[in-house]
Structure 1
Amino acid sequence: MSPKLSGFVLTSLFISTPFAMAQTSSSNVVLDEILVTSGFRPTTQLKTPASVTAVSEEALEARQAQHLEDVLALTPNVNSAKGSSRARFYQMRGVGERSQFVGHVNPSVGVLLDGIDMSSIAASATLMDIKQVEVLRGPQGTLYGSNALAGLINLQSNDPTTQPEGSLEGTIGNYNTHSLTAIYSTPLTDTAGLRLAISQNKSDGFMRNDHLNRKNTSNIDETFIRAKLRFAITDDWLMDLTGFYADINNGYDAFSLDNTRTTLSDEPGRDRQISKAFALKSIWTGHDVYQLETRLSHSNTRSDYGYDEDWAFNGFHPWGYSSYDEYVREYNTTTAELRFVSLPGQEIFNGTTQWTAGLHGFHQDSDLKRDVFRNGLPRAGRTITSDFKTERVSLYGELETLLSEDWILTSGLRVEHSRTAFDDNVRASYRKNEDLWGGRLALEHFLTPETSIYASLSKGYKVGGVNGGFTPAQLSNEQLIFDTESLWNYEIGSKGRYLDDRLITQTSLFYQQRKDAHLRGSFMASSNPADGFVDYLFNADQVNNTGAEFEFKYALDNGLSVQGALGLLQTKVKDARARIHQRDVAHAPHWQYQLGLAYDRGQGWFSGVSVEGKDAFYFSDSHDAKSWDYTWVNAHIGYQQNNWSVRLWGRNLGNQDVAERGFFFGNDPRINYEERAYYQLGAPRTFGVTARLMF
């Protein structure tokens, strides 16, 4: 599908949707209301004046998604970056980080799992027993502040049930893939319930190391455990306590000098992470005017990420080198929140306005030790240690005003005080206090009870910082500090349910202005590849993003349903000093789409097929190497009864090569270290069978 054709179809749908309610049908099939829980109060997707995608548990199951990275193709204008065994960083509408080496990363896309901030540790964003994934595009300055400049991804797990239930699910597939997930939920007393989920994923991966004669140097070996305890302390006080544990012991041997899935590394990399976290949430409804919500979370993560820099073995070539780069980090993140939400009947301003007010605190401590090894021994003078601390305290509030029966005005504001401290063993000692603000105004008009249009203005922000870990010879004083970024988002959209609730659509058009945009530059420290890269953040004067998103789902009477998503995006850097002046930013494809057809009548046979595609995009803001556009075909067929199901599934059935990450530099001694593009390739054709037993 060409971008021009996609744009024409999208624009036509946007214009025509308000008039689709004129069509009627006698169908008994009704699509369920989608309840969005990421905001200050749960509301339907129709009544959310923003571009939001909610991916249900059924959609996750149909896709056989294990990790957050597996599901984002269903969401328009969302991309992810590898450079690791699992995607750690995400981009929305062309905004977001792609990697982390020596420097500290303040994510532009927030990731929450049951209230636990996973933004810096998203490798552990498992989809085990997840009820819904919500993707909020655009700055969430009121809702979450600095960690949601581009948007927010919220993962919500299933709650304990009032009756005992459980399930056991197993998968086997090619590349020696196998996984097992066990879930059990039971009431403990009349006022308490427990839900426990345990999952283990294993795979050899799809890379082969010819030097070591191994097929598992990019293996997956992951264990996840989550327990959720819900108890009613009193009739008007409910509390959820969630505990989470992740043990990730994955390999990382992803790059080949020949850009194939065959490597020659003698020191295959690793991507390990152990995360322990808890979240405590309580809701008290004992007051006549407001509901009091409190949230507390803490996570501790230790990660060990390293790779063979030369991608070859010692002695591979007379001009070759041998080097291994290792990054060991420890994160401690704590969040606390106190929120007051008005109850029905307690609106202010003559009963027209619901209100929310709250206080939020964020603290994170990140320690790094980076070592470079030559022939297994640390290289003298190459060890880098750093300590990063950030504290944020925010006050926020939001008003939702009913201007008339069919007009609603939402206004929100967040003010934040941020304190940052950074020290390393090279030269950097950085301290900064900042006062920041963000918010939104959204006006929503209901053409009918089932059809709405909206216009919104929102502002996001992200704190500045320091490019630590480099000497003055590597990075000048002018390049050392980068300033705070702000993003203004202008958006219009429409949402509706048509054809007797068999058709749901939503469309958005947006324009974004990024001021002092955080872009990432990099260059080789010297002509010797063994000296590695200087990787740093800098401010571009302005970046403009323009685009559109369209999603629909349509259900027929005979068990068939069709759904799709389309994202269009154009970005442009405006900074005459930058080498990418007037160019797109990295990881911002001009178009993405997904179209799926499914058959499911609840019992017996079910099946589905989907097509997804993405345009080529630049890998970096410092060079012009690009990916290539692709189209994937996925399919599944299965059989289900009351308490069991079996599913045969396949992804990328056309076995297309997809570049998920790319670099441009010289690393091959056979061509005298001539600069060229190198790619981390995505998964080839994968297939397997999944069986599930429910009890």
Structure 2
Amino acid sequence: MNSSLCFNTRTKPLAGAIGLASALVCTSVAADTGVEEVVVISQLRATTQLDTPTSVSVLNTDTIEARGATNIEQLLNLAPNVNFASGASRGRFVQIRGIGERSQFIDPVNPSVGLIVDGIDFTGLGLAASTLDMQQVEILRGPQGTVYGANALAGLINMTSNAPTAENFATVSAEAARYGSHTLSAVTSGPLSEQLGYRFAVQQQQSDGYVHNRFLDRDNTNNINETVARGKLQYQAGDDLQLDFTLFYLDADNGYDAFTLDNSRNTLSDRPGHDRQQTLAGAVSALWTGHDLFTVKSVVSAATSDTEYGYDEDWVHVGFHPDEYVSTDNYLRDRDNLSVDLRLVSTDGSRLFGGSTSWAAGIYLRTEEEGLERNASFSSQFDTDNAAIYGQLNTALSERLELITGLRVEQRRADYRDSLLVANNTDETLWGGNLTLQFALDEYTLLYGTVSRGYKAGGVNGRIISASATNPAIGSDTFLFDTEHMLNYELGVKGNWLENRLKAQLAAFFQDRSDVQAKQSIANITSDGISFDDYLANAAGGRTTGVEAEVNFQASDALRLFATVGWLNAEFEDFISSAHVDARNDYTGEVTPIPLGGRDVAHAPNYQFFTGAEFALTQNLVARVELEGKDDFYFSNSHNEKSTAYELVNARLTYQGDNWDISLWGRNLTDEEVYTRGFYFSNQFGNNPANGYAPEGYYQLGEPRTAGISGSYTF
């Protein structure tokens, strides 16, 4: 290959990431081994990643272990154009291509990013996204309107744990790290009979966290304390029927004490917060192949979760403020959901139109009840029922060209009521789908183009309805918000070249959002000052343009290189925000709407990247180095505070014996300061008497430099 086509990377991290992704094809080292084939199982039919005509990242067991991840938040930076917001003990809210919620307080949330774990719907419950004994994590970008419908406007995270094995084994693992962190886990699996296999995994993780509470003289007020257990049974009931049973348990009792007046890791709160969740969930899936014309796949799942989220609202202790101001906030939520998905998938004997078209069709039912109690003074109940039918046709137009058409029609009913006598219900019919052309350029290369439509249900603004009794500026037009829709246009290429040593995918997309659900506020100006009542409105359109690339290259038997790069331009269109605070023109008693058309949406960095290498120093010793980073981004659509751009360096050294391994690892080795959540306090809401309550921004800090040792032993 002509070396003039290779990039010479210098010091800029983004240029270096792109340069590495491009330079991979310039390496000519011979390799006998190839990159492992990855199968995507979240679609209607299981296909290899490179035969799936959509932008999807698949993170397998090896990647999860090399990352040292115990929760999905520690994997999200590996996927292009994926971000998350903290505001709690972990990153509970995910944004894909700039779309996704960033917090939840009083009003119910209709999520934009779905979370499915072993067929169980944990959308909005990020603490349940444990990576314990996980087979793979699939991050699908773009609306999943055919297969998943509501709660997947921006995309979906699908997690699948390992299945029972045909042979007995047991593995124990342990890890110790800075900040009092230690994790113990165990996995055992094997056959109970010729037809029945089992698998059981359990993990206990504890960490003091990296915050010191100077007022209480404690180092564990932002701690992690989580116990996770998962049991699976696989029963071969007959030659044509397989049943899989999953039971999941989570007990998380984490602290939340993150914000400080000087943006440090030294807090002053006298009543630190908490982020707790107890979950018991289960699923039964069945695969029946007893008919010549179709296969039946079904999943029935149920989950019950009790969560408690609270924090010291003033961030300090009694006596710090001259008037001894003190405040806390606490949210107790109980959520129960039940879902049923029944699907028929065609066989070769039932292909349509002269054998050119395979098909899949299904029905989906879901009911969820969510109860909220806030500070024992406010309660609400939010119940939803979803019923959908969906189908997809895969039509071979020629030997290399295939047309995929999918459609989903969903009926959704939502009922809301609260202790302030607000009651409302919505009932709407939603639809989404996709139209895709894929072309096999040769046996190694796939080209595709797709148009997909997603939706996010409308709802009720319970808080603004109750506030209307005391704020005459609130009109009835703010009580409800409409459904948001999005059209996604995407072109992509995927390939598997150089004798299976180089795998890559590249996607370019344009997303057109209509009736965007955006936060607004109405001021309530009284003699005591200004307060604001928030609500969701359909005040904006939005357009997003972006590119995503992933490369995995087995350069030699000893060296593997990998890189992902995302570029994103996500903007509002014709959006006038009544909630925006500008530090240069702060509130002085009047509220002036601010035009945000052309402004980047919150939590949508213009670029992000992840790149690295694994090198086998000897037959048993493997070194891994990673570089990850992202551009700055707005924390909110209601103020101008931004994160800072950052680059993190991670490393891991692993020795693998016959039935054991041990690793030394470090994350954020250069100790970069990373912001994961941010707020702006105007001079009407100043928080720090030391500077005269002047306007300023406050930030929640991400993980500092940390290091540890981990190991496992298999019996």
TM over 0.5: yes
* 1:103 counterpart residue number: 107
* 2:553 counterpart residue number: 554
Q: Which of 687, 692, 698 lines up with 1:672 in the alignment? A: 692
1:258 aligns with 2:259: no
Per-residue deviation, 1:32: 1.6
* 1:181 counterpart residue number: 185
1:617 aligns with 2:617: no
Per-residue deviation, 1:530: 12
Counterparts of residues 130-141 of structure 1 (less than 5 Å):
130-141=134-145
SS of alignment partner, residue 516 of structure 1: strand
Q: Which of 94, 97, 104 lines up with 1:93 in the alignment? A: 97
Q: 1:599 to 1:649 in 2, by over 3 A?
A: same
1:322 aligns with 2:342: no
Write out per-residue CA displacement over residues 154-173 of structure 1, whole angstroms, 9 at most, x where no aligned residue.
00000000110121000000
Counterparts of residues 250-649 of structure 1 (less than 5 Å):
250-371=254-375, 383-470=377-464, 471-472=467-468, 473=470, 476-521=475-520, 534-578=533-577, 579=594, 580-600=596-616, 603-649=619-665
Per-residue deviation, 1:23: 11
Per-residue deviation, 1:122: 1.6
Amino acid at match of 1:664: Y
Per-residue deviation, 1:524: 8.1
Amino acid at match of 2:277: Q
Amino acid at match of 1:468: G
Per-residue deviation, 1:411: 0.6
Write out per-residue CA displacement over residues 409-460 of structure 1, whole angstroms, 9 at most, x where no aligned residue.
1110000011011011225311111011000011011111110111000000
How high is the TM-score relative to the length of structure 1?
A: 0.94
Q: Is the 8 A contact 2:17 2:563 kept in 1?
A: no
CA distance, structure 2, for counterparts of residue 215 and residue 264 of structure 1: 12
Q: Is the 8 A contact 2:458 2:482 kept in 1?
A: yes
Amino acid at match of 1:402: A
Amino acid at match of 2:362: G
Q: Is the 8 A contact 1:101 1:535 kept in 2?
A: no
Amino acid at match of 2:600: D
Q: 1:468 to 1:284 in 2, by over 3 A?
A: same
* 2:704 counterpart residue number: 684
Write out per-residue CA displacement over residues 586-642 of structure 1, whole angstroms, 9 at most, x where no aligned residue.
100000001111124894111100000010000111111111100000001121112
Q: 1:523 to 1:264 in 2, by over 3 A?
A: farther
CA distance, structure 2, for counterparts of residue 581 and residue 660 of structure 1: 25
Q: Is the 8 A contact 1:322 1:530 kept in 2?
A: no
SS of alignment partner, residue 690 of structure 1: strand
Amino acid at match of 2:200: L
SS of alignment partner, residue 341 of structure 2: strand
CA distance, structure 2, for counterparts of residue 593 and residue 38 of structure 1: 25
CA distance, structure 2, for counterparts of residue 406 and residue 648 of structure 1: 48
Q: Which moved more, 1:402-411 or 1:24-33?
A: 24-33
Q: Is the 8 A contact 2:510 2:545 kept in 1?
A: yes
Q: Is the 8 A contact 1:320 1:669 kept in 2?
A: no
Tell me the number of residue pairs that the alignment of Structure 1 and Structure 2 aligns: 679
Q: 1:585 to 1:510 in 2, by over 3 A?
A: same
CA distance, structure 1, for counterparts of residue 701 and residue 395 of structure 2: 50
Q: Which of 629, 649, 653 lines up with 2:669 in the alignment? A: 653
Q: 1:204 to 1:477 in 2, by over 3 A?
A: same
Q: 1:669 to 1:534 in 2, by over 3 A?
A: farther
CA distance, structure 1, for counterparts of residue 210 and residue 527 of structure 2: 31
SS of alignment partner, residue 114 of structure 2: strand
CA distance, structure 2, for counterparts of residue 498 and residue 279 of structure 1: 39
SS of alignment partner, residue 478 of structure 1: helix
Q: Which moved more, 1:614-623 or 1:343-352?
A: 343-352
Per-residue deviation, 1:521: 3.7
Per-residue deviation, 1:669: 2.6
Q: Is the 8 A contact 2:552 2:560 kept in 1?
A: yes
CA distance, structure 2, for counterparts of residue 33 and residue 141 of structure 1: 27
Write out per-residue CA displacement over residues 8-49 of structure 1, whole angstroms, 9 at most, x where no aligned residue.
879x96xx99xx8x9998631111211000001100011111
Amino acid at match of 2:563: G
CA distance, structure 2, for counterparts of residue 444 and residue 315 of structure 1: 66
Q: 1:531 to 1:154 in 2, by over 3 A?
A: farther
Q: Is the 8 A contact 1:515 1:540 kept in 2?
A: no
Instruction: Please list every run of 5 or more consecutive structure 1 residues that lacks an aligned counterpart in the other structure.
Output: 372-377
How high is the TM-score relative to the length of structure 2?
A: 0.92
Per-residue deviation, 1:127: 0.3
CA distance, structure 1, for counterparts of residue 99 and residue 598 of structure 2: 16
Q: Is the 8 A contact 2:30 2:556 kept in 1?
A: no
CA distance, structure 2, for counterparts of residue 582 and residue 592 of structure 1: 20
Q: Percent of aligned pairs with the same residue?
A: 43
CA distance, structure 1, for counterparts of residue 347 and residue 696 of structure 2: 61
1:54 aligns with 2:70: no
Per-residue deviation, 1:541: 2.9
